[in-house]
């Protein structure tokens, strides 16, 4: 196995390109998450607010099998209210960034 003898500045150059690639991957995934924000919010983040949530359906099915109707959750209507002018935009941007980090994490930590 041949050992590489890079200078300090060559190591810094490799580190710089690795940081640029990681930032580009996170940014691309975050942009995709922002484009599909309706799916992300309705089907992923706010999915437990609906009676059609998979876990609630399974709990109701279990409740009918064992004869315990109180196990089936009764959902209340949830209304989201925005009280700040730009809070909705900043929420979409921050959630998109976090999803970008989560989805790109395997690439970020891979050798």
Domain that holds residue 85: 10-109
- Is the per-residue pLDDT at 73 higher than 80? yes
Residue 35's pLDDT band (boundaries 50, 70, 90)? very high
pLDDT at 26: 95
Q: Is residue 3 part of a domain?
A: no
pTM of the model: 0.74
Mean pLDDT, the chain, rounded, equals 89
Q: Residues in the chain, how many?
A: 111
From CA 97, how far away is CA 27, in angstroms rounded? 7
> 82-101: b or e for each residue (b if 16 or more CB lie within 10 Å)?
eeeeeeeeeeeeebbbebbe
In-domain check, residue 63: yes
Residue 83 resides in a domain: yes
- Domain assignment present for 32: yes
Neighbouring CB atoms inside 10 A of 30's CB total 21
Number of domains in the chain: 1
């Amino acid at each position: 196995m041949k050992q590489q003898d890079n200078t300090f500045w060559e190591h810094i150059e490799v580190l710089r390109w690795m940081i640029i690639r990681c930032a580009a991957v996170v940014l691309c995934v975050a942009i995709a998450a922002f484009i599909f924000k309706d799916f992300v919010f309705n089907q992923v983040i706010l999915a437990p607010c609906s009676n059609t949530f998979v876990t609630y359906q399974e709990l109701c099915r279990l409740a009918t099998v064992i004869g315990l109707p109180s196990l089936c959750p009764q959902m209340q209507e949830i209304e989201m209210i925005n009280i700040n002018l730009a809070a909705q935009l900043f929420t979409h941007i921050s959630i998109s960034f976090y999803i970008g980090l989560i989805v790109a994490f395997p690439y970020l930590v891979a050798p």
